[in-house]
Amino acid sequence: MSSEELHKRRAAAVARGVSSVVSSYVADAGGGRLRDVDGREWIDFASGIAVTNVGNAAPRVVAAVREQVERFTHTCFMVAPYESYVAVCEQLIELTPGGFEKRAALFNSGAEAVENAVKIARHATGRPAVVVFDHAYHGRTNLTMALTAKVMPYKHRFGPFAPEVYRVPMSYPLRDGGLSGEQAAARAIDVIEKQVGNGNVAAVLIEPIQGEGGFVVPAPGFLPAIAEWSRGAGAVFIADEIQTGFCRTGSWFASEHEGIEPDLVTTAKGMGGGLPIAGVTGRADIMDAVHAGGLGGTYGGNPVACAAALAAVETMRELDLAAAARRIEQRMLPRLGELAAGDPGIGEARGRGAMLAIELVRPGTIEPDAVRTTAVARACHDAGLLVLTCGTYGNVLRFLPPLVISDDELDRGLAILEGALATA
Ligand code: PLZ
């Protein structure tokens, strides 16, 4: 059945609120490529939104999932536990930053991990307030909508939202007049101290590099200063590494680039090699503050997803995908920089590892150019390159290739992008 025919069926069956970036339907995918049902090949610069870091249908993941579904698909860890859940928690404890004693708990999605991190922080501190940042994205459930900054499409007419969420200014080097990390942190801390009050803050929640908000890399020093303030105030510092985690930025976690050790880390996406699984990992005293039975869910740490996660981590270790992400940065970022130098409509090329972006502006200004961004993305799609946009202003083109993408696929993707920028 062709994409066109599937699209017709979809219109009569799938709710309009769920939309897709492209109108082609996938037949199969692997490495750095997708093939649609019409027989067209695509180069993948999306990874299903930073999920298939190990590649799509990665061999180890496929084998592990196959083996597990034949043994058992579900017992519920809260009813009858199994080894792989424990093993995934052990891996999370080993891989997340921080040499202190840790515990972990597993969930199904990023939003669910964030919700649980907030539950844990509130329980452990006995305080209500959660501090989040401009441009933040943390999910689409009621609490995480409140934590997410952008109204369209995420929050519009979906309120009322959960209370006790306070938003403070982010470090956004292109848009904050060149504040240093320390200055930007002082600006945020001032708002917290004046408007929330140190003793009320349960958690400070931040993406070390913002994802949906525009691939915003804070100025150096910003994250350490916020983490330090948080510690001093007795608040739980939570790094949302759902998009940045699992080798994406050239290390296991983006927090490592600035040497910060979050009290709690939320993970999902890349963790499961394509299967839905998420985690909250962090300081044992905070995690274990919660009473027995206070955390859980029917499917959290489902055995098939756990098998996939263990295989994905093994693949990352075996292929050294953190190094692969650094190589992708070395190959892509200079070319994106050259494109920016030759195109006054590109305000900045930025990012880390295989989490890279260009931000489009009206020439000579920092005024966002969302119209061109959409046009460039469409031109890429027409030429067979799957790219995504993001940003509060919808003016950022982001590049998230699977970490196993070949140099040839990377170069061909870049050539398509160059062509699209030349015409759109
Ligand atoms: N925290 C940092 O990036 C998910 C969302 C796409 P879920 N980002 C992609 C969309 O439009 O829904 C994300 C994230 C960060 C939390 C989440 C939420 O993760 O698995 O989508 O719930």
Q: By the 8 A CB rule, do 190 and 164 touch? A: no
Residue nearest to ligand 1 atom 16, measured at CA: 138
3-class state of residue 205 by DSSP:
strand
Q: What is the pLDDT of residue 106?
A: 99
| Arithmetic mean of pLDDT, 169-184 | 97
Share of residues in the chain with pLDDT > 70 (%):
100
> 121-150 as b/e, with b when 16 or more CB fall inside 10 Å?
bbbbbebebbbbbbbbbbbebebbbbbbbb
Instruction: Please write down the long-range contacts of 183-187, taking CB distance under 8 Å and 24 or more positions apart.
Output: 184/218, 184/219, 184/222, 185/221, 185/222, 185/225, 185/226, 185/229, 186/225
Chain centre distance of CA 287: 22
For 11-51, what is each residue's pLDDT tens digit?
999 999 999 999 999 999 998 999 999 999 999 999 999 99
107 pocket-lining for ligand 1 (C-beta < 6 Å): no
For 354-393, what is each residue's pLDDT tens digit?
999 999 999 999 999 999 999 999 999 999 999 999 999 9
Atom of ligand 1 nearest to the CA of 141: 22
Mutate to test the pocket of ligand 1, among 118, 138, 238 (most ligand atoms within 8 A of CB): 138
Distance CA 38, CA 329 (A): 32
281 pocket-lining for ligand 1 (C-beta < 6 Å): no
Q: What is the pLDDT of residue 367?
A: 98
Mutate to test the pocket of ligand 1, among 18, 21, 49, 280 (most ligand atoms within 8 A of CB): 49
Q: By the 8 A CB rule, do 352 and 217 touch? A: yes
Residue nearest to ligand 1 atom 1, measured at CA: 138
Per the listing, tokens 């990352």 go with 316
Distance CA 158, CA 334 (A): 41
Token pair recorded at residue 139: 């999910």
Q: What is the pLDDT of residue 148?
A: 99
Distance CA 247, CA 270 (A): 8
155 pocket-lining for ligand 1 (C-beta < 6 Å): no
For 226-253, what is each residue's pLDDT tens digit?
999 999 999 999 999 999 999 999 999 9
49 pocket-lining for ligand 1 (C-beta < 6 Å): yes
The whole-model pTM stands at 0.98
Q: What is the pLDDT of residue 272?
A: 98
Average pLDDT of the chain is 98
For 142-154, what is each residue's pLDDT tens digit?
999 999 999 999 9
Rounded to 5 degrees, φ, ψ at 331 are: -80, -35
C-alpha closest to that of 43 among 398, 418, 383: 383
Q: What is the pLDDT of residue 51?
A: 98
114 pocket-lining for ligand 1 (C-beta < 6 Å): yes
Q: What is the pLDDT of residue 193?
A: 98
Atom of ligand 1 nearest to the CA of 268: 20
* Beta-carbon-side half-sphere exposure of residue 184 (alpha carbons within 13 Å): 23
Atom of ligand 1 nearest to the CA of 210: 2
Q: What is the pLDDT of residue 53?
A: 98
Q: Rounded to 5 degrees, what angle do the CA atoms 75, 79, 85 make?
A: 65
Cβ neighbour number for residue 393 with a 10 Å cutoff: 20
For 314-349, what is each residue's pLDDT tens digit?
999 999 999 999 999 999 999 999 999 999 999 999
3-class state of residue 57 by DSSP:
coil
282 pocket-lining for ligand 1 (C-beta < 6 Å): no
Q: By the 8 A CB rule, do 308 and 61 touch? A: yes
Q: What is the pLDDT of residue 226?
A: 98
Distance CA 400, CA 51 (A): 9
Q: What is the pLDDT of residue 18?
A: 98
